Amino acid sequence: MLRKLPVGLLVYIWAAFFTTQSFAQDRQITGQIRDENGAGMPGVNILLQGTNRGTNSNAEGNFSISVPAGTSTLIISSVGYETKEVPVSGSTSTLTIDLNPDVRNLGEVVVTALGIERSAKSLTYSTQKIDGKQLTDVRDANFVNTLSGKVAGMVVTQGASGPGSATRVTLRGNRSIRGNNNALFVVDGVPIDNTVQSQVGNDFGGINGSDGAANINPDDIESMNVLKGPAAAALYGSRAANGVIMVTTKKGSAGRVTTNINSGVVVETPFLLPQFQNTYGQGNGGVASDKASGSWGAKGTTYPDNVRDFFRNAVSTNNSVGISAGTQNVQTYASYTNNYNQGLLPNNDLMRHTINLRVSSQLTKRLTTDAKITYTNQTINNKPRSGEESAVVMNLYKIPRSVDLNQYKNFQDENGNPTYWTTSSIYMNPYWTTNKTTDKERRNRTILLGSVKYELTDWLNVQGRVSFDRYDDRYNRSWADRTLLFAGPGGSYQDFTNDILERNMDVIVSGNNKLGKDIALTYNFGAGQTYKKFSQVGANANGLLVPNKFDLSFARALSQIAAFSERELQYVFGTASLSYRDFLTVDMSARNDWSSTLPKPYSYFYPSFGANLILTDALQMPEWVSFAKLRGSWAQVGNDTDPYLLTQTYSFSQGGTGGFISRDATQPAATLKPEISSSTEVGLDLRFFGGRLGLDMTYYNTNTVNQLLTLGLAPASGFSDQFINAGKINNEGFEFTLTGKPLRSSDLNWDMTLNFARNVNTIVELHPDIKIAFLAGGYGRTAGPVVAEGGSYGDMYAQRWKRDDQGRYVVDANGKPVATESEKIGNFNPKFTMGFNNSFNYKNFVLSFLIDGRFGGTMTSGTQANLAFDGNADYTTNNRDGGWVLPAVTSTGETNTKAINAETFWTTVSGGRYSWGEFFTYSTTNVRLRELSMGYKIPVPENFFIKNVRLSFIARNLFFLYRGYATLDIPGVEKRKLPFDPDVNLGAGNFQGVEYGSLPSSRTMGLNLKLGF
């Protein structure tokens, strides 16, 4: 059945696309919907009163609908506008309908959990909506990155591996120590797989895998609604513990065929590079030496651009075409999008093709269907390694300042040996790295969605849905012979495939009833199943019999790459909403999950309750208060864990006569419990002066218990550790969204949105035997994020400059700094975030910009530690000639009198590859001009085949308005400004707060053209 159903869906889509259902119809009404400025409005709902017959306006606001003979009434509705009833007489054939803005947004409909549409005013929890147009002007290879600054309480962190890197998205803080903290992505009511695979878990480094959300095509997005808290997301169960990002994609509309083209080209350059010194050359102790690895030599000729010139000006293009067509009964939307993104590094690029087809049908008066297929083909060439160990960026930054890198573009000699300016067992010529090591990632992904809805009565309907999300990732990685660290004799090669399948099925019964004159009841109940399978198959050739023959057949030593997991979740749910006179609403919901990853009876239950009161309807309020709503909710949501933690697992390895079987060292957790998050939320939604000013405020408090921790065991037990449930994490915070329309006229309009969020995280308790635990891979070479009882999630621990009881710095007998053991030096989370979005329209000119700010938080830079060790950083020029007496004391409390020089100081505190983290930790406070778009709507003749044209200059990451500084002020050294982009982290997992060999983020500038036909 699993293999047959997608084929059946395809057959249905094919048939529906070319078939027009015949319905009795008397006459056709055509018309146009216009906004308050007289412009055509796309996507407006037109419904024939008393029926399910309806359509939507096209890109120019035009529509066509059949109505019976005689007098009828059309109901016209659109988000943000007042609903209008338009009578249609027997002689009417054309209509021009003007809609007025809904200053209170009482008619706004938003998509909530499970794709259920609800009136925005009835919600008892916080949500925030983003229009799809905000995602298609200023773009990124991973569209998720463009959400930064647009949603209060959302923190977006990019991966450090160039185009195709996974992105980490958290809402209202981090909740899970060992599990996933990413928000769930849901498309058209059904979750999609957003597994963030193989993320770097320490600063040693590695190659990051891609995520699933990056394959969502922004050109197909109609709107996005962010469900932030458990009360909003509870109906999605355990996967929604971290919030939900609801994506609604475009549908076809009745009427003439419309075509929209979006085409753009941009140039990307490094946004922020380290500052290098350009005074001293290769050598040691102030003496020049062409064999030295650092720049501690004499003054001389340097090459200021030897790093910048290695990065290229990358060109990226996007081309998308979307076609909408349909009759009153069958509507079709089809699109094709091509994205090509060059990386900043040579030979690194991404190519993505996305094909989408969606068909919506009204087969009878009561039966409707919706079917969609999306296919994505993506190839990433040479995704760079991030981290310390011979990553290309570290190889580049190690270049002495007096070395002309152009001389090393010929990266190998006549014998095939790598060319290098010195000797090393770790670092290499970066041109060798980009040309002689490869990483190719190919993805084929198909998402199928089908739904059938039947109106049992005018007040009750049933809907069934099924979705399949299947993608195969093929990886080919090669390291040429003589590549340090990674190549065996003759070279090394990996070839493996990850196959991921997710199936979701559910049935939902929805109804609404009037319980007397003043009370209305809406309800939904249903059941569903989620099945997920992961399979990894491949092999690793550690050494090749024929040098650089990258084929597993030539392996010297072949080892398997294999993994498998399978899990299933079954659930039932129910929700009900009771409203009184449309100004008092009470919500209730309940869900029970049965997870295959938990012990018998596999079950966990969680409810939610909420209420709101429309104050402006219930009370007499001043005229300048247009709308006021008070809301509150309490909810629980569970979170299961990974498969196969309940029973003992074993590993097989080659050797002997029949191989070896070994028991895994972690003791299983037979009594494992699900994580449970309990959240309380209260909020106030206010609109003033006819909707010109709005303020949405939310306070929340969330407690997450039953964290999954690892507890060490005595060797006599036969195990090294075991999984246990323990711990309690609290997240408490405020969110504010201020909206305004300061200017409103026939020619000039200004809309603005200010988002602000503050989250405070507390590790309330862990376990009597565990008071501190490292996140992900733990402490490496610079610093490590931890959870410590009484502290906060993401506290950073590293070695510090030792102080005495009076807070004075301590040095040794030679005047060099003395280090402490690992201590807290900061926290990687921002204290608060801010986004300020503005849009101006003047006649045919359009200007929009986004200012994005993160305040507080720290990151430790292993890159800066290496630059300091080598004498390449700009701040290493001070005190090179010696005479630097640090204002410190010795271990006995005596005043320091010993002079040192810069080389002694920086090589001591940086330690080469293992540094004292405090010296290279920076405040990540920054404010930047995140996005800019300046466009012009080119006038076209009224009957011209092109209906609208807009040409825009677009830019992303233009400049910083403010950057933080190093947290440690070193006597005798100028204050050091943040030298990297804190948006970019080693990976998208829970190991955050460390920058080491990361690619710089990019500044993007280019042109975008939109055409409508």
DSSP state of 919: G
Measure Cα distances from 988 to 308, 379, 978 in Å.
Answer: 26, 20, 21
Domain that holds residue 82: 23-102
Greater confidence (988 vs 23) lies with 988
Residue 660 pLDDT greater than 90, yes or no: no
Q: What is the mean pLDDT of residues 143-147?
A: 90
Assess whether 52 and 141 both reside in one domain: no
- In 10 A of CB 523, how many CB atoms? 17
Rounded-to-integer distance, Cα 636 and Cα 679, Å: 6
Q: For 359-381, how does the pLDDT look when each residue is reduced to its tens digit (9 = 90+)?
A: 999 999 899 999 999 999 999 99
Assess whether 214 and 348 both reside in one domain: yes
Assess whether 188 and 69 both reside in one domain: no
Is 146 in a helix, a strand, or coil? helix
Assess whether 98 and 131 both reside in one domain: no
Q: For 395-444, how does the pLDDT look when each residue is reduced to its tens digit (9 = 90+)?
A: 999 999 999 999 999 999 999 999 999 989 899 999 999 999 999 999 99
Q: The pTM is what?
A: 0.89
Contact predicate 759/172, CB 8 Å: yes
Q: What is the mean pLDDT of residues 983-1012?
A: 91
Q: What is the CA radius of gyration of the chain?
A: 30
Q: Does a structural domain hold residue 750?
A: yes
Assess whether 499 and 391 both reside in one domain: yes
Rounded-to-integer distance, Cα 612 and Cα 455, Å: 29
Assess whether 572 and 637 both reside in one domain: yes
427 backbone dihedrals φ, ψ, rounded to 5° = -95, 155
Rounded-to-integer distance, Cα 580 and Cα 121, Å: 13
Tokens of 248: 């609604």
How do 666-667 and 721-744 pair as beta strands? Answer: parallel
List the CATH number of the domain containing 762. Answer: 2.40.170.20
Residue 102 pLDDT greater than 90, yes or no: no
List the CATH number of the domain containing 35. Answer: 2.60.40.1120
Q: Does a structural domain hold residue 292?
A: no
Assess whether 750 and 636 both reside in one domain: yes
Q: For 224-272, how does the pLDDT look when each residue is reduced to its tens digit (9 = 90+)?
A: 889 887 777 777 877 778 888 989 999 888 878 889 999 999 999 999 9
Q: What is the mean pLDDT of residues 198-217?
A: 86
CA atoms within 13 A on the CB side of 209: 18
Query: pLDDT value at position 12?
Result: 42
Q: Does a structural domain hold residue 259?
A: no
Q: For 156-205, how does the pLDDT look when each residue is reduced to its tens digit (9 = 90+)?
A: 998 888 898 889 999 999 988 887 888 889 998 888 888 777 888 888 88
Q: What is the mean pLDDT of residues 304-329?
A: 93
Which of 85, 102, 119 corresponds to the end of one domain?
102
**H-state helical runs in 19-69:** none
Contact predicate 385/205, CB 8 Å: yes
Which of 44, 69, 102 corresponds to the end of one domain?
102
Residue 616 pLDDT greater than 80, yes or no: yes
- Letter string b/e over residues 950-959, b meaning 16 or more CB atoms within 10 A of that residue's CB: bebebbbbbe
Assess whether 190 and 234 both reside in one domain: yes
| Beta-ladder partners of 931 | 850, 956
Greater confidence (478 vs 391) lies with 478
Angle between helices 902-910 and 862-870 (to 10 degrees): 150
Assess whether 219 and 147 both reside in one domain: yes
Q: Does a structural domain hold residue 612?
A: yes
Tokens of 447: 């998402």
Query: pLDDT value at position 778?
Result: 67
Rounded-to-integer distance, Cα 356 and Cα 333, Å: 8
Q: Does a structural domain hold residue 639?
A: yes
Q: How many domains does the chain have?
A: 2
Task: Give, rounded to a whole angstrom, the gap between the first and last alpha carbons of the chain.
Answer: 42
Q: 544 falls in which pLDDT band (50, 70, 90)?
A: very high
Q: 2 falls in which pLDDT band (50, 70, 90)?
A: very low
Assess whether 720 and 677 both reside in one domain: yes
Q: Does a structural domain hold residue 880?
A: no
Residue 34 pLDDT greater than 70, yes or no: yes
Q: What is the mean pLDDT of residues 67-73?
A: 82
Rounded-to-integer distance, Cα 147 and Cα 170, Å: 11
Q: Does a structural domain hold residue 122?
A: no
Lowest mean pLDDT among 719-723, 842-846, 917-921: 719-723
Place of tokens 């009037």: 514
Q: Does a structural domain hold residue 285?
A: no
Q: 519 falls in which pLDDT band (50, 70, 90)?
A: very high
Assess whether 717 and 866 both reside in one domain: yes
Q: 709 falls in which pLDDT band (50, 70, 90)?
A: confident
Lowest mean pLDDT among 29-43, 175-189, 491-505: 29-43
Assess whether 33 and 173 both reside in one domain: no
Rounded-to-integer distance, Cα 411 and Cα 775, Å: 39
Contact predicate 962/925, CB 8 Å: yes
Contact predicate 688/694, CB 8 Å: yes
